[in-house]
Chains A and B, each alone.
Chain A
Amino acid sequence: MKILHAADLHLDSPLGGLEFYEGAPVDEVRSATRRALIALVDFCLAEHVALLLIAGDLYDGDWRDYSTGLFFLQQMARLAESRTQVVWVRGNHDAQSQITRHLSAPAHVRELAVTGAESVVFEELGVVVHGRGYAVRDTKDNLVSEYPARVAGLLNIGLLHTAVDGREPHARYAPCTLDQLRACSYDYFALGHVHAREVLSTDPWVVFPGNLQGRHVRETGPKGATLIEAETGRIRRVQHVNFDVVRWQMTEVDVSGCEGFEAVIERTVAALDVAKTAAEERVLATRVEIVGETSAHVSLLKQSERLKAQVRLESLVVGGVYVEDVRVRTRLPARVSARNVPDDAFLQLTESLARRTARATTDEEREDFTERLKQGLDAVPIELLREQVLDLPEILADAQRLLVARLLDQDEAGS
């Protein structure tokens, strides 16, 4: 018997951070979350999955378009062909979702109650699923405490949307501990909420399958669901199955030893080639980070926009690569940047800059610096500005790099 455990579908949630540019595989990334769900249903049909468990967050909470709900129902309807039973619970996003409230699911799709924990027994499968959904978004109660006791003679599965033991940066909804989950004596706890795949325990199994499709550059690597194979009331095997159609990845390119701009491009393209191969025919959405010691350091920083455009252009040749951003984190070779003159003002300046940058991120100065940074930007939507300012340490690091490069550039330009 096969059971598939998925969570955090976030249907029709857009892929973030991808700006449009000429030749970008825009069509390939659209509807990524839908196509990931189609892939999951295809898998259920092909592998004769008996039970599909969804541990919350079908949609984004603030998303109101009903076509998303209809699409979900359409896919669930397909599962009727393979007689796949579906059990799902509401997560924090579903709790406030208008779509969820109006959804009328077919008989083989069962939503667990939000008022208290309940159990659904599938006699023919020998499985019982215990669980409870969120009535409200800010569910701060420990829901596990009310989960029913183990039912003897059946495979016991718990279904819950939670941040076990607190998992940054995920909000601490329905908090509980791993020990509390273990104390239920179930065979498997199918969790949702945390977008990274994680096996918290193997006896009993406590698993976050991660989300079905990565949505931005912080959700990298393979994404999908967890396949459980059970026999005679016991779990034999648990494995991850990939369903993502767009693979997010950070591509770090070490350009140490590259002498010029073109050499850097060449090495970056080679790295993209490797990353694209690793993405297994999927579209690769990636942020490129150029690192290492190179004499082209100043040139790269000075021409960062050209670099980004060039990398994006070259990525078209690789094909199926969406370059989210190109960030330069290089440094000059030690022998070039070394300043042996003890009182060299340049060295002093760069060191002082580094100290000042570090200071600006401390609790004491961060707020003041942020306020000065935001001055005169009233026309920028506050949400957008807030998101960017959250990245203050990175912004400051980039600013520091930019300044050092400009100073070096001045130095060279004077020659």
Chain B
Amino acid sequence: MRIQKLSLARFGPFTDQELDFSVEGPGGLHIVYGPNEAGKSTSLRAVTGLLFGLPQRSEDAHLHAASELRLGAVLERRSGDERIRLDIVRHRRRKQPLTDGEGRPLDEAALEPFLLGATRASFQHRFALDQRQLELGAKALLSGAEEGLFAAGTAGAGAAQILLALDEEQAALFRPRGQKYLLNQLLEQLREAEKHLRLSERPAEKWQEQKRALELKVAEVTRLEARRSQIRMELSRKNRLASMLTDVARLIEAEEELEALGQVPLLPSESVEERTRAVADERDAVQEAHVHAAELGLLEARLRALGEAISLEQLEEDRLAVLRNQLGSELKALADLPKRSAKLEQLGQLVREQLRSLGRPHQSADELLVHLADEGRLRLLATEHGQLESDVLQLGRNVQRLEQELSELGRRRAALEDEARADAGRTWLDRDELARARERLPALRKRTDLERQAVAARLEANREAAELGLPLALDADLLPPPPPAELLDELRSERQELDRRRQMLEGERTQLVSQKGEAEARRRALEEALDLPSEEGLRALRSHRDELLGDGPWPAGDAARFSQLERAMREADQVADRLRREAVRVSELVALGMDAAAAEARLGIVSERLIELERPFSAWSERLGRAFGALDVPPADTTGARQTYARWQHAVSAARHAEALEQQALDLGREEAELRRLLAVHGGGEPDGEAPIAVILARAEAALEARRLRRFAESELEKEVRTCESRLSDERAALGVAEARLAAWSSEWGRATQYLGYANLPKPAEVQTYLSRLGELSAVLREEREMQRRVDGMRRDTAVFTELLLQLCRQHAPDLLARSPIEGAEELLARARQAREARVQRVRTSDELGRRRQLLGESERRRDGARLRLEGLLRLSGAATLEQHLELEARSARRRELLESVRNLEDGLRGRSGGQLRALVDEVRGLDHDVLQSEIEDLEDALRELESQHQVAAREALSLQQGLEHYGTEDAADARQRAMHRKASAAHALRELLVLRAARLLLEAEMVDYARENRSALLGRAEGLFSRLTLGKYSGLSIGLGERELMALRGKEQVRVAELSSGTRAQLYLALRLASLDGSLGVPDPLPLVLDDLFVEFDEDRAVAAFEILGEIAQKTQILYFTHLARDVEAAHDAIRGGRVFTHRLSAG
């Protein structure tokens, strides 16, 4: 992909800035030059933002609002022979951030074929480089070579950081002896849950044991309950008797008292209460009547003291309120009127003074104030005047400045024309010629190397020739050639065939010797083992057997004969068996003898063939000697022949190689001499045979570039002169217009001010002062009129107040007419207030008097009623006095109480005795209370003891029952489920830990392998670049497998990266980065490289070297190099010849 055009429409400091990178052909180095602060770094961000989107928080939204940021580009890529272009505009917004040139929405996917799979990060790490990005790579390197190289190779994947993060996450999850970490805690919880589970489990044996115990306990409880029931019944009977004992005694006592009391009338039960209430009512009514009578006397005296009503009581409240308000106003007016009159006088004086200051003492103010109507127009004219005068002045200055500038430009043009005339007479090589010379520089630099290599090759050839015994010769053609390769191949084949045959025969001989040895050995063994009985022996035994058989018939029971016969038969059979067995061995012995003889015969033949074979061997050696006859010591065998032939060949090739190198060095020397000659006349300079050719070339290029820059400056100067003249003309025209407008203004001013009465045309400031004072006079006049109006009003209010007061005094208090209005009004208001209060008091006292009289009547009626009720009660009891009545009441109440008690006791005893009251009473009368009580206590003790035993047994039974019922619960199952929850939590955490561990193991192994596999290749590439960037000062880089630090090689010295100068370090980082890009640039149509001021710390020569490398890369891909150094522009042109470097200017705004 290449960027054909970059548009910084609204971005950072840029507005509508366009950079055109369109050139024909692949690659190309574009130097974008702009001074510091021109926005180069912004441009770097712009390219990234353009391709991958603008971030939400942009540091480039200072001139333009974030929502208005906009970038554009025309991208181009190749697809086969076709060129595909894409016009894009990038916005900073959520919806449709990417559009085409026409503003139509564009999917991000449209960019993907251009980006070759790069992400924002990979593009930034690898293709959009500034010093910071290089430094980031540096930190990765310095933190450890393996990881560093790994990171460099994985586009800054930061694998080391990932390893670190994985370790930290593992440590946060679990530590072998930790307690507070998640998995540690979960495992502890799991242990607790499992412990709880073990405690919760209730095995079957325990259930059965517990069930048996429960059955026993239930039986015990049943027995105790039966005994308890028995005792309770007995106790109940005794208690019943004991309780009746007391009641019978109380019954007898009551009956005796009743008899003693005799006949007393039974008064109604409510008579006591009735009598008490009547006595109390009479007493209370008498006391209340006394209180009401005393209060009546007091009220009547108070009413008399209040006296008769007067006329002021009838005066309406509205009229009094009016009088009260007017009195207040009058009192205020009395205080204010003198002050306001004085103020009125002051204002009149002020108006007169201002008329005098305006120079119009005899004119009325109203007459003058008419002029205020024109104030707006006059002020506008005065303001216009200032602007017009300022314009004329500024334009005059501009014209003067431009005239000076024009003069200065004329002077500079004359100087440049002088220089151009001087250049015209000189001889110049053109840019292409110098570029070709620059291209040849690396080759020319190699001349010394070639000479060195030629000497080395020559020495090598001579050494080989000497060792082989060949004559030494400067000309490779004079060296005797080695034998033809075909001859050697033929000899080698022959020798191989001979060796093969000899080897076969020797193998056969060895095998035959072995076979013969084996046969003889076996034969000896068989002979030793052979135990051969004779045929005669066998026959004798058989005869003896037959004899014994032939003696029959045998008498029964002749055991001795049978035994003898049996032995003879067995011996004969044994000998026959042995003969059969040994016959096999004998035949084997014979066969072995034949084998040994055959092997012996074959051995003789093989030995003869081996001897015959020596002849062709000798012939072969002779042929070999002839083939290497040119040598002092020819080789003896094929291996020697092969080695000698190779060395002979090597000697000849080394000699030829030395010749070729010498010729190349010679050609380069001639070429350099020619180049020096050409450069000597270039630009009219003096020849310099001593300086290095690169320096001479650089000077020539500098001279040419100076000439080019001068021409560029001439053209720029011409443009400036034309611009300056155009601007001068414009300024002069504007000055004329401004002066005409000033004249028109003067005429208008005269017309506007002629009514003001000035003798001459007044100045704007003068008129503005006059108008200000006129304004002040108008304000004072308004204030004076307002004050006069207020004084008049106050005087009217006093007259109205006096009239109202006179009316009221005449009606209600004529004695006050003689007093002043203020005093009269105040006294009249006081009297009216008092009269109203007296009227209120009279009404209240009359009401209270009526109420008291009513209460007194009620008290007297209540007293009489109570006396009547008491008399009725005395009649009922038959008592003459109240004291007699009270005694009768007491006796009647006691009789009633005793009768009630007897009835209750009889009822109670009757219920318990089953109806036989009198019989029961008689039975109980005979009992001893103390004995009965003692028996009851014994029974109660026994019952308590039994209760206690029952409670214990019942509790135990309940506990056992509950224990068994507990088996009906799901506690253990619940505990098991809870333990499973804990286990699941621990398992999840453990799994997470294992995933982290596995990830770490995988990545670590990957890193080790990656470093092992890629280090040498990456280092090799980086080494070459580093050497070139440091102009050969550093020859390479080194790093061991087990080492963790990168070293730079300076001669034989190893230098740590940290010890390198900052410039060299930057060159090292650049070398590593460019080396890591090798693969990415090898694809068709790779991504462009965007670089920002990378060579700031490079000296001039190294910058040239760096641009040479960039020039090579630029043949494969487009490079945009942003710089603020004019030196870089020159260095790039110096380093890259052939038209593939282009310069662009960048300026903010």
Residues of A within 8 A of B (CB): 12, 14-20, 26, 29-31, 34, 63-71, 74, 98-99, 101-103, 324-325, 335, 338-346, 349, 352-353, 356-357, 360, 369, 372-373, 376-381, 384-385, 387-389, 391, 395-396, 398-400, 402-403, 406-407, 410-415
- List residues 996-1010 of chain B with CB under 8 A from any CB of chain A: 996-999, 1001-1003, 1005-1006, 1009-1010
Which residue of the partner chain A has the closest CB to B178? A379
Given the complex of chains A and B, what is the CA–CA distance between A67 and B207 in angstroms?
9
Given the complex of chains A and B, what is the CA–CA distance between A360 and B671 in angstroms?
63
Chain B nearest Cβ from A97, distance in angstroms: 10
Give every chain A residue within 8 A of B991 (Cβ-Cβ): 388, 391, 395
Greatest chain B CB density within 10 A among A102, A376, A403 is at A403
Stretch at the interface among B35-43, B735-743, B975-983, B1044-1052: B975-983
User: Are the C-beta atoms of B973 and A406 separated by less than 8 Å?
Assistant: no
Which residue of the partner chain A has the closest CB to B162? A406
Chain A nearest Cβ from B203, distance in angstroms: 5
Q: How many residue pairs, one in A and one in B, have C-beta atoms under 8 Å apart?
A: 222
Question: A15 with B162: in contact, given A98-B203, A399-B999 (CB under 8 Å)?
Answer: no
User: Are the C-beta atoms of B202 and A65 separated by less than 8 Å?
Assistant: yes
Q: A-facing mask of B997-1038, CB < 8 A → 1, else 0?
A: 111011101100110000000000000000000000000000
In the assembled complex, B939 has its CB within 8 A of some CB on chain A: no
Given the complex of chains A and B, what is the CA–CA distance between A5 and B647 in angstroms?
92
Which residue of the partner chain A has the closest CB to B989? A19
Give every chain A residue within 8 A of B80 (Cβ-Cβ): none
In the assembled complex, B325 has its CB within 8 A of some CB on chain A: no
Given the complex of chains A and B, what is the CA–CA distance between A68 and B977 in angstroms?
14
Q: A-facing mask of B98-113, CB < 8 A → 1, else 0?
A: 0000000000010010
User: Are the C-beta atoms of B184 and A379 separated by less than 8 Å?
Assistant: yes
Chain B nearest Cβ from A304, distance in angstroms: 9
Which residue of the partner chain A has the closest CB to B983? A384
- List residues 92-127 of chain B with CB under 8 A from any CB of chain A: 109, 112, 116-122, 124-125
In the assembled complex, B565 has its CB within 8 A of some CB on chain A: no
A373 in complex: contacting residue of B984, B987, B998, CB < 8 Å: B998
Give every chain B residue within 8 A of A411 (Cβ-Cβ): 119, 121-122, 155-157
B201 in complex: contacting residue of A65, A352, A384, CB < 8 Å: A65
B987 in complex: contacting residue of A101, A343, A378, A388, CB < 8 Å: A388
Given the complex of chains A and B, what is the CA–CA distance between A345 and B981 in angstroms?
44
Given the complex of chains A and B, what is the CA–CA distance between A398 and B1083 in angstroms?
33
Question: A29 with B176: in contact, given A338-B117, A373-B997 (CB under 8 Å)?
Answer: no
Given the complex of chains A and B, what is the CA–CA distance between A250 and B620 in angstroms?
84
User: Are the C-beta atoms of A15 and B990 separated by less than 8 Å?
Assistant: no
Q: Can you identify 28 A-B contacts, CB atoms within 8 angstroms?
A: A12-B972, A12-B973, A12-B976, A17-B987, A20-B981, A66-B203, A66-B204, A67-B967, A67-B968, A74-B968, A98-B203, A102-B207, A335-B109, A341-B1083, A344-B155, A345-B154, A372-B1001, A377-B174, A379-B177, A384-B986, A384-B987, A399-B998, A406-B162, A407-B154, A407-B159, A410-B156, A413-B121, A415-B119
User: Are the C-beta atoms of B157 and A16 separated by less than 8 Å?
Assistant: no
User: Are the C-beta atoms of A341 and B116 separated by less than 8 Å?
Assistant: yes
Give every chain B residue within 8 A of A339 (Cβ-Cβ): 117
User: Are the C-beta atoms of B1080 and A343 separated by less than 8 Å?
Assistant: yes
Given the complex of chains A and B, what is the CA–CA distance between A377 and B986 in angstroms?
13
Question: A342 with B1083: in contact, given A67-B202, A384-B983 (CB under 8 Å)?
Answer: yes
Chain B nearest Cβ from A77, distance in angstroms: 13
What 5 new A-B contacts, CB under 8 Å, besides A66-B203, A67-B202, A395-B991?
Answer: A65-B973, A342-B1079, A344-B155, A352-B1006, A410-B158
Give every chain A residue within 8 A of B52 (Cβ-Cβ): 415
User: Are the C-beta atoms of A349 and B967 separated by less than 8 Å?
Assistant: no
User: Are the C-beta atoms of A344 and B1002 separated by less than 8 Å?
Assistant: no
Greatest chain B CB density within 10 A among A345, A376, A410 is at A345
Give every chain A residue within 8 A of B988 (Cβ-Cβ): 19, 325
User: Are the C-beta atoms of B121 and A70 separated by less than 8 Å?
Assistant: no
Give every chain A residue within 8 A of B998 (Cβ-Cβ): 360, 369, 373, 395-396, 398-399
Given the complex of chains A and B, what is the CA–CA distance between A394 and B1072 in angstroms?
38
Greatest chain B CB density within 10 A among A338, A353, A410 is at A410
Given the complex of chains A and B, what is the CA–CA distance between A352 and B1006 in angstroms?
8
- List residues 139-183 of chain B with CB under 8 A from any CB of chain A: 153-159, 161-162, 165, 174, 176-177, 183
Given the complex of chains A and B, what is the CA–CA distance between A198 and B788 in angstroms?
119
Give every chain A residue within 8 A of B162 (Cβ-Cβ): 403, 406-407, 410
Chain B nearest Cβ from A332, distance in angstroms: 11
Question: A379 with B187: in contact, given A65-B200, A345-B153, A411-B157 (CB under 8 Å)?
Answer: yes
Chain B nearest Cβ from A415, distance in angstroms: 4
User: Are the C-beta atoms of A14 and B121 separated by less than 8 Å?
Assistant: no
In the assembled complex, B995 has its CB within 8 A of some CB on chain A: yes
Give every chain A residue within 8 A of B995 (Cβ-Cβ): 395, 398-399, 402
Question: A99 with B204: in contact, given A341-B1080, A373-B1001, A402-B999 (CB under 8 Å)?
Answer: yes
Give every chain B residue within 8 A of A344 (Cβ-Cβ): 117, 155, 1079-1080
B121 in complex: contacting residue of A380, A400, A414, CB < 8 Å: A414
User: Are the C-beta atoms of A29 and B977 separated by less than 8 Å?
Assistant: yes
Give every chain B residue within 8 A of A341 (Cβ-Cβ): 116-118, 1079-1080, 1083
User: Are the C-beta atoms of B1009 and A352 separated by less than 8 Å?
Assistant: yes
Chain A nearest Cβ from B162, distance in angstroms: 5
Chain A nearest Cβ from B703, distance in angstroms: 44
Question: A64 with B201: in contact, given A384-B983, A410-B158 (CB under 8 Å)?
Answer: yes
Give every chain B residue within 8 A of A343 (Cβ-Cβ): 1079-1080, 1082
Give every chain B residue within 8 A of A14 (Cβ-Cβ): 973, 976-977, 979-980
Give every chain B residue within 8 A of A377 (Cβ-Cβ): 174, 176
User: Are the C-beta atoms of B970 and A30 separated by less than 8 Å?
Assistant: yes
Chain A nearest Cβ from B210, distance in angstroms: 10
Greatest chain A CB density within 10 A among B156, B157, B187, B967 is at B157
Question: A406 with B165: in contact, given A68-B973, A391-B991 (CB under 8 Å)?
Answer: yes
Give every chain B residue within 8 A of A101 (Cβ-Cβ): 204
Given the complex of chains A and B, what is the CA–CA distance between A99 and B205 in angstroms?
9
- List residues 59-102 of chain B with CB under 8 A from any CB of chain A: none
Q: A-facing mask of B25-50, CB < 8 A → 1, else 0?
A: 00000000000000000000000000
Give every chain A residue within 8 A of B966 (Cβ-Cβ): 67
Given the complex of chains A and B, what is the CA–CA distance between A324 and B972 in angstroms?
23
Chain A nearest Cβ from B550, distance in angstroms: 69
Question: A67 with B119: in contact, given A345-B155, A388-B987, A411-B155 (CB under 8 Å)?
Answer: no
Given the complex of chains A and B, what is the CA–CA distance between A346 and B118 in angstroms?
11
User: Are the C-beta atoms of B984 and A17 separated by less than 8 Å?
Assistant: yes
User: Are the C-beta atoms of B990 and A388 separated by less than 8 Å?
Assistant: yes
Chain A nearest Cβ from B1014, distance in angstroms: 8
B203 in complex: contacting residue of A29, A64, A353, A385, CB < 8 Å: A64
Give every chain A residue within 8 A of B184 (Cβ-Cβ): 379
Chain B nearest Cβ from A72, distance in angstroms: 12
Question: A69 with B994: in contact, given A30-B974, A341-B1079, A407-B157 (CB under 8 Å)?
Answer: no
Which residue of the partner chain B has the closest CB to A378? B176
Give every chain A residue within 8 A of B971 (Cβ-Cβ): 67
In the assembled complex, B208 has its CB within 8 A of some CB on chain A: yes
User: Are the C-beta atoms of B157 and A388 separated by less than 8 Å?
Assistant: no
In the assembled complex, B969 has its CB within 8 A of some CB on chain A: yes
In the assembled complex, B206 has its CB within 8 A of some CB on chain A: yes
Given the complex of chains A and B, what is the CA–CA distance between A388 and B159 in angstroms?
27
Give every chain B residue within 8 A of A388 (Cβ-Cβ): 987, 990-991, 994
A67 in complex: contacting residue of B112, B124, B969, B999, CB < 8 Å: B969
In the assembled complex, B985 has its CB within 8 A of some CB on chain A: yes
Top 9 A-B pairs, shortest CB-CB distance: A343-B1079, A102-B204, A399-B998, A14-B980, A414-B121, A65-B972, A19-B985, A399-B999, A415-B120
Chain A nearest Cβ from B170, distance in angstroms: 10
Given the complex of chains A and B, what is the CA–CA distance between A262 and B1009 in angstroms?
39
Give every chain A residue within 8 A of B980 (Cβ-Cβ): 14-16, 18
User: Are the C-beta atoms of B176 and A102 separated by less than 8 Å?
Assistant: no
Given the complex of chains A and B, what is the CA–CA distance between A339 and B122 in angstroms?
11
